[in-house]
A and B are shown apart, each in its own frame.
Chain A
Amino acid sequence: MELIAVEKPASYPDKERGERLNQQLRDKAKELLERGAVECVIGYERATDGSSARPFFVYQPEEVDRLIFDQTCTHNLVKYLLNKKDKTTAVVVKPCDSRALNLLLNEKQIQRDKVFIVGVVCPGIVETGWNQVSQTLQGRCQRCRQHTPLVYDFLVGEPPAEEAPPAEAYADVAEIEAKPLAERQTFWDEQSKRCIRCYACRQVCPGCYCSECFVEQLQPPWVGIKIAPPENNMWQTIRAFHLAGRCSGCNECERVCPMDIPLSLLNRKLEKEVWELFEFQAGLSAETVPPFATFKKEETLGIGE
């Protein structure tokens, strides 16, 4: 699949379209703030390295010119809505973020009438970090099947004339599945050895919003505070399991991990299984019954037969 070329600093592939999109975004934000429709617009602005992006909370119409949208805007801003439950907030969402939004709406964590969704047609986000903006599209974007958000109140940007075919969705998961047992064990042992339990993965994840995470429970101490492979294994396995059928694939967890642990290999394995077993994918709609909240009396799942 041909990667979209990016010029440094990363800008929308078609420069003119990019500038139009940014102007549309700023105009809409300004309008929403000026008429008091929202208390805050959550979007992106340029970071201190001059090339990557960071979340930006606009409260005053005069500040809207700092808003940007381009191929460095990797963050999933939906999580911030959980801190703003009592206020009306506008949020800029990419298609993957819109799936996280659907999840939170579905799980009744946010109220639809308290959110103004500014959807952005997304050309794909590049591998980006502080002072490390690259020309390569992130893996999740290469696999992406939706360039237009699934839910929005206002759409910014023009849907592409032609969608390039996405990369194979589970090639890397299948590679791990195919490894012999001992190699799989070694692979995952290597990953859990490096985990320092910073919980950055949890903190950026829109699906992780429990007021008391299982890992913080003292009674019983499911995981405890020791930072060591057995406990790290438990942490990663259970977090992935708690996201089964809920993960929107935004991949922020993997991006923020300081130890480069390939978390998407876990989350997408479960996404694949949930699809194969229950024909369900997270975040496609705000009105849906999650796969673990329901069942079929007759179903063959390879368990207990």
Chain B
Amino acid sequence: MTQTISRRNLLSWLGRLLEERLLIAPTHTTGPILFQPVSKIEDIVLDFDNTALSAKEWFFPATETLFWAETTDGRTELVPATVEREAVVFGIRPCDAKGLALVDKAFLAEPADTLYQQHRDKAVLVGLSCRKASPQCFCTSMGTAPNDPTHVDILLTEVEEDYIVQIVTEKGKALLPDNLLLESKVVPPPPPSPPVVSAEGIEEVMRQAFDSPYWSRLADRCVHCNLCAYVCPTCYCFDIRDYESKGKIERVRSWESCQSPGFTRQAGGYNPRASKGARLRQRFYHKLLYFPEDFGAIACAGCGRCVQVCPVNIDIREVIADIQTIGGRNVP
């Protein structure tokens, strides 16, 4: 027996939630579809492939103030930023949820990033299974699946006019009242099959391929635009700067990426990753070797946004396949 909720009940539940909490859901903008706070239920987009930016931006915002510091009468007071509002992130795909779980490994490891932790603690994730796979998807090759409930609090799967409901965590159970759910005999539809890339044994192969001329060749066309890192659900590099205004200091953190030419420029001017090849190589090594070595998983959720957005078609799946060949494994 499965539990379902009708679309009407789902929307009215969301309508009640939005009165108490910050409800973040996919919405239309004058540009692409993005996760945004909604003020009315009609703004929620239910029929979409995926948002242009991942849900990561609501946990690790593009720009965030870390604290303010003010000195009065010789005493300095530090006021850290806090996350006050309870939030619900609705419509998150399993790949984005997996992305958050991967960022957790870095940001929640001791000592935890307190702001990120607050964002995570205060938000409930209501996931939406994918009914179809897009050509850029490859989530099943990256340890998740179009109907993977592992990293969300509630997973919804659309089936005709209703949604199958899987309550995954206590947080999810506390959010969705039982009386909205119906018992049903409907069988969960089979998940779609996204394209597959063989990433098995990629760590070992990467170790061998470090000095290969492949990387500079690939980087020839890279324009180092930061797009891949910014749309990625698992990339988490940032820059921190202090700003001073009328005696008050504000410490701000913003997204940055290893692709920026100046990312590793040091005081004095030396830059260990001055070359295009070195920078591009770094991104793939972080995802496919260093992160697995440190945290036990490939830092990729298979969402395919980087593939869609790269202006020059640097395709991580092609890179993985090429490296497998270079490493002598010749897998298809």
Contact = CB atoms under 8 A, between A and B. Distances in A.
Contacts of A47: 313, 315
Contacts, number: 110
B223 A203 contact: yes
A259 B311 contact: no
B315 A200 contact: no
B252 A255 contact: no
Interface stretch (A8-16, A51-59, A166-174): A51-59
Contact of A227 (B255, B307, B313): B255
A258 B33 CA distance: 11
Given A48-B307, A83-B276, A194-B29, A258 B227 contact: yes
Contacts of B254: 197, 225-227
Contact of B226 (A131, A199, A260): A199
A258 B52 contact: yes
A57 B31 contact: no
Contacts of A176: none
A198 B241 contact: no
B310 A225 contact: no
A256 B311 contact: yes
Contacts of A52: 313
A196 B53 contact: yes
A231 to B, nearest CB: 9
B224 A203 contact: yes
B30 interface: yes
B135 interface: yes
Contacts of A259: 31-32, 52
A68 B57 CA distance: 38
Contact of B221 (A49, A57, A130): A57
A131 B221 contact: no
A48 to B, nearest CB: 4
A268 interface: no
Contacts of A204: 223, 225, 311
Contact of B30 (A56, A190, A228): A190
Contacts of A226: 63, 243, 252, 254
Interface in A13-55: 47-49, 52, 54-55
Give chain B's interface secondary structure class: loop
A75 interface: yes
B272 interface: no
A75 B231 CA distance: 21
Interface in B171-223: 217, 220-221, 223
A224 interface: yes
A interface bracket (residues with beta carbon within 8 Å of B) = 35 or more
Contact of A130 (B30, B220, B313): B313
A228 B63 contact: yes
Contacts of B52: 258-259
Interface string B230-268: 110000000101010000000010111000101000000
A116 interface: no
B32 A260 contact: yes
Given A196-B255, A226-B254, A256 B135 contact: no
B136 A199 contact: no
A252 B32 CA distance: 18
B230 A55 contact: no
A282 B318 CA distance: 38
Contacts of B109: none
A227 B63 contact: yes
Highest count of chain A CB atoms <10 Å: which of B30, B239, B307, B315: B30
A79 interface: yes
B239 A225 contact: yes
B35 to A, nearest CB: 13
Contacts of A243: none
A273 interface: no
Given A130-B307, A226-B252, A227-B62, A199 B29 contact: no
Nearest to A49: B135
B243 A252 contact: no
A261 interface: yes
B3 interface: no
Given A196-B62, A226-B63, A260-B31, A54 B313 contact: yes
B309 interface: yes
Highest count of chain A CB atoms <10 Å: which of B136, B221, B241: B221
Contacts of B62: 196-197, 227
B312 interface: yes
A130 B31 contact: no
Nearest to A211: B261
Interface in A233-264: 252, 255-256, 258-261
A224 B241 contact: yes
A258 B135 contact: no
Nearest to A47: B313
Contacts of A255: 311
Q: Across chains A and B, which 9 residue pairs bring their CB atoms closest together, nearest first?
A: A260-B31, A54-B313, A200-B225, A227-B63, A203-B225, A47-B313, A55-B221, A203-B223, A256-B311
19 contacts: A49-B313, A54-B313, A83-B220, A83-B276, A190-B30, A197-B255, A200-B227, A203-B226, A224-B241, A224-B243, A225-B63, A225-B252, A225-B254, A225-B256, A226-B252, A226-B254, A258-B309, A259-B32, A259-B52
Interface of A: 47-49, 52, 54-57, 75, 79-80, 83, 129-131, 190-191, 194, 196-200, 202-204, 212, 216, 221, 224-228, 252, 255-256, 258-261
Given A212-B262, A221-B241, A258-B52, 6 more contacts: A54-B221, A83-B276, A130-B136, A130-B309, A216-B262, A256-B225
